[in-house]
Structure 1
Amino acid sequence: MAAQSQIWPEASQFIIKIAVGTPPTEVHAILDTGSDLFWTQCLPCANCYRQTNPIYDPSKSSTFQTLSCELPQCHLTGSGAACSGTDTCKYNYGYGSGLTQGELATEQMAVTSRSGAMKLFQGVVFGCGHNNSGTFNPNEMGLIGLGRGAISFVSQIGPSIGGRKFSLCLMPTNTDPTISSSISIGSGSEVKGPGVITAQLVQISDPTYYSLTLTGISVGNTLIPYSTSGPPAQGNTVLDTGTPPTLLPKELYERLAAEVRRQIPSEPIGDTLCYKDNLGDLVMTLHFDGGVDLPLSTIQTFNQMPDGSFCFAAMGVDDDSALIGNSMMANFLVGYDIDNMTVSFKPTDCTKIG
């Protein structure tokens, strides 16, 4: 029953193709587990960033339908709805690096599997974005939110195809952009079998996030506790495919960076955690509540840069919480299960499954 589609790398993000409307417009959207709304740039544009492919034109689709503020779909969790009375349902959705504003509408959508089979979904709520800005590039036509909120793409289509669950496999940084991987949604997308590591998600106040409790990080056999001042807060870490680097509280990052620097045999480039070569056989392990350990190789913890050097895939931020970015999830088949509140990791060569 699962809906399947291919994933492509695009700069430091990952893209899925979705057909929107009747006749269909092909939309290339950033995969983002850290937000809920699916939106695309939409004519007429009050302020759209430059886009290479044609911008979706709702006036040419026979299945486009705007929502009014009275309808319950306008007020789904995670919609960013901003309206009153009986007006058209407007939305305002902000990100760390940009925003999108427009109207919420329903539309027919389709994803195409690797076999070429097309799966149609009617009446999917999405954002028709007339004012969009941020660090989007011309090949990114919008963003598909795969969070836990009611308006997310997986929450909307999941119940019709066997459940609110999906799995995806992200490729390492600098993978040839002609190589694709895949995403699977619904029944059949479960990640199971030998070598699977499963952690229980934590319910936090924000209904969007896939949150885990990170208790510490080991570098080799040396444990770096998450906090030096007591037990860590529950749900202190989110999984976010829409953010490339892993973000750690500054104090934790500094302790971790010092240990990484101590264990790598070669000298770093200046004051950075970048190396020309010889990272050794460094293994870093993420420790989650419940005794769940996720070992990471240098494929996940270091990004190969255009000049051939390798740079650490994490950085310190002024925040008490952590975020595991898409670089650190490379070469794992990751299964997200909203209904059972679990996330599962299976080491996989993601360049070989597209």
Structure 2
Amino acid sequence: MGELVDEFVEGIRLPLTSGGDGNFLVTVGFGTPKRDFTLLFDTGSGTTWTQCEPCSAGCNQQIPIFDPSTSSSFSNATCDPTCDYPIKYHDGTYSSGYYVKDTLTIASDLHPNFVFGCAQKIDGNFGGAAGILGVRPGKYSLMAQTNSDYSSLFCYCLPAAEKSAGYVVLGLKAFATCLPDKDKMIPISLGSNQDADSYFVTLTGITIGQQRLDISGNVSSPLKAIIDSGTSISRLPFSLYSDLRQAFQGLMSQYTTAPPSAKFDTCYNLEGQNNWTPPKMVLYFEGVDLDLIPSAVTFREKDNLLRCARLL
């Protein structure tokens, strides 16, 4: 196997950085001549889009937005029945515009006639990014449109902290990059989710503190969970979440509860608890036990006074 892995060198490796608020960023180029833009890397979205002139509402990226009139390779897309697109994400953010074609540049690789969304209206905070790089399977996804170059193969490693860097690898090079760390790798499978295909990981168990929750008593076991790099909140079936919340509350019984905050319903006022850490939580996947860092268990607000459970 080692000799085969050494031969898998074709492909591209890109830095993957933290944009804060649970977002992860990659830099790609659009147009001819190429202009670089920073996009959110999103395994939960099948559409790539960037903010375009003339943007009528909400465009807020930190550099000038993409101007199709300056690109010699730009053209309108051919769509059925329409090239207009509206996308509303689970957190309420929104992007709408129309599909176009232009050259996408990933590192040194050129991908002519790449179809992407030319956003005309933005609603919500995308962290100053120019748009989204959609990696989920789909007609206009990155993987579908670059299949002849990368064979729909990729792997990625998320940065561990805001000032550190991870990576995303496209193509056969993904084997050489990720297989040597297979003992730390969580396999991703492809499956259907309502009206779209998604990437899934298999969750086999959860431990909170010293208590192992019984997944099989709540939902089908093992549990297939969508892997979505575009959201920082884990969502569980209600019955399983109720058991987790009850166990969490039992471990936090000596602390003062606080009203719900935003989408979080299990919150505590921790004023004066400067050295407090949340209960230990472990997620069990196929072949990998993942010890969650404290910031993955609770969400901090209001100058460290309020902490809320991150799982919904």
Per the alignment, residue 189 of structure 1 pairs with: 174
Q: What's the TM-score once normalised by structure 2's chain length?
A: 0.78
1:207 Cα offset (Å):
3.3
Q: Secondary structure at the match of 2:146?
A: helix
AA paired with 2:76? T
Q: Secondary structure at the match of 2:198?
A: coil
Where in structure 1 do 4 or more consecutive aligned residues deviate above 6 Å? none
Unmatched 5+ residue regions in structure 2? Answer: 1-9, 259-266
Q: Secondary structure at the match of 1:143?
A: strand
Q: Secondary structure at the match of 1:203?
A: strand
Per the alignment, residue 224 of structure 1 pairs with: 213
1:58 Cα offset (Å):
0.4
1:187 Cα offset (Å):
1.2
Per the alignment, residue 166 of structure 1 pairs with: 154
Q: Secondary structure at the match of 1:159?
A: helix
Per the alignment, residue 142 of structure 2 pairs with: 153
Per the alignment, residue 8 of structure 1 pairs with: 17
> How far apart in 2 are the matches of 1:125 and 1:154?
12
Residue among 182, 198, 201 paired with 1:209: 198
> How far apart in 2 are the matches of 1:238 and 1:111?
26
AA paired with 2:169? S
Per the alignment, residue 264 of structure 2 pairs with: none
Q: Deviations over 1:246-299 (max 9, x none)?
A: 1223432231133234457x954534267643438x5533345xx645332335
AA paired with 2:241? Y
Task: Verify the 8 A CA contact 1:245 1:313 in the aligned structure 2.
Answer: no
**Closer, same or farther in 2 for the Cα pair 1:241/1:309, shift >3 Å?**
farther
AA paired with 2:257? G
> How far apart in 1 are the matches of 2:268 and 2:288?
24
> How far apart in 2 are the matches of 1:294 and 1:51?
38
Q: What's the TM-score once normalised by structure 1's chain length?
A: 0.70
> How far apart in 2 are the matches of 1:314 and 1:25?
37
AA paired with 1:104? Y
> How far apart in 2 are the matches of 1:186 and 1:310?
43
Per the alignment, residue 257 of structure 1 pairs with: 245
Per the alignment, residue 345 of structure 1 pairs with: none
Q: Deviations over 1:60-93 (max 9, x none)?
A: 1001111123xxxx6xxxxxxx51xxxxx22222
Paired residues for 1:124-163 under 5 Å? 124-137=114-127, 139-161=128-150, 163=151
> How far apart in 2 are the matches of 1:104 and 1:267?
54
> How far apart in 1 are the matches of 2:152 and 2:11?
11
Q: Deviations over 1:2-54 (max 9, x none)?
A: 21222222231111111110112221111111111000011112224323210
> How far apart in 2 are the matches of 1:254 and 1:268?
19
**Closer, same or farther in 2 for the Cα pair 1:141/1:200, shift >3 Å?**
closer
Per the alignment, residue 25 of structure 1 pairs with: 35
Point out the more displaced range, 204-213 or 305-314.
Answer: 305-314
Paired residues for 1:96-115 under 5 Å? 96=90, 97-112=92-107
Q: Paired residues, what number? A: 285
**Closer, same or farther in 2 for the Cα pair 1:260/1:20, shift >3 Å?**
same
> How far apart in 1 are the matches of 2:198 and 2:227?
7
Residue among 301, 307, 314 paired with 2:310: 314
Q: Deviations over 1:205-256 (max 9, x none)?
A: 4433112443442235532123645635963x21111111112234322311
**Closer, same or farther in 2 for the Cα pair 1:230/1:3, shift >3 Å?**
closer
Unmatched 5+ residue regions in structure 1? Answer: 75-81, 84-88, 113-117, 317-354
Q: Given the alignment of the two structures, is residue 243 of structure 1 paired with residue 231 of structure 2, yes or no?
A: yes
Task: Verify the 8 A CA contact 2:42 2:135 in the aligned structure 1.
Answer: yes
Task: Verify the 8 A CA contact 2:15 2:167 in the aligned structure 1.
Answer: yes
1:196 Cα offset (Å):
3.0
